[in-house]
Amino acid sequence: MNTSAPDDLLDERALSKLRWRCRRGLLENDLFIERFFAKHQSGLTVRQAEALGVLMDLSDNDLLDLLLARKSPEGDLARDDITHVLGMLRHARPSVSAV
């Protein structure tokens, strides 16, 4: 039973599970995600982790399209929490030389 409030910070165990879940097949996605965690892992909330989980349910190509802003979140993805985390991921964008 999860007793965490949406704005609580993730504990170490939950953060570790989230990092494992975020492993991707496309190197480009992994680069975004690694930079995201390097910058934000100490301040991630339960709500942000849940939104990131929704994004991780996408196929690699659909996720990359969102990360590169080729597409905008639509339908179930057009939620404030998801668009916020997507913005955090985009801001952690790897340099051109890394891709």
Overall residue count recorded for the chain in this entry: 99
For residue 96, give Cα distances in angstroms to 69, 84, 87, 93, 99: 15, 23, 18, 9, 5
Confidence category of residue 95, pLDDT binned at 50, 70, 90: low
> When comparing pLDDT for 56 and 99, which is higher?
56
Domain ranges of the chain: 12-98
Between CA 39 and CA 1 the distance in angstroms is 29
Residues β-bridged to residue 9? 45
Note the pLDDT tens digit of each residue in 76-94.
Answer: 999 999 999 999 999 987 6
Angle between helices 60-67 and 80-91 (to 10 degrees): 80
Question: Which pLDDT belongs to residue 10?
Answer: 95
The top-level CATH class assigned to 12-98 is: mainly alpha
pTM metric for this prediction:
0.87
pLDDT above 70 (res 19): yes
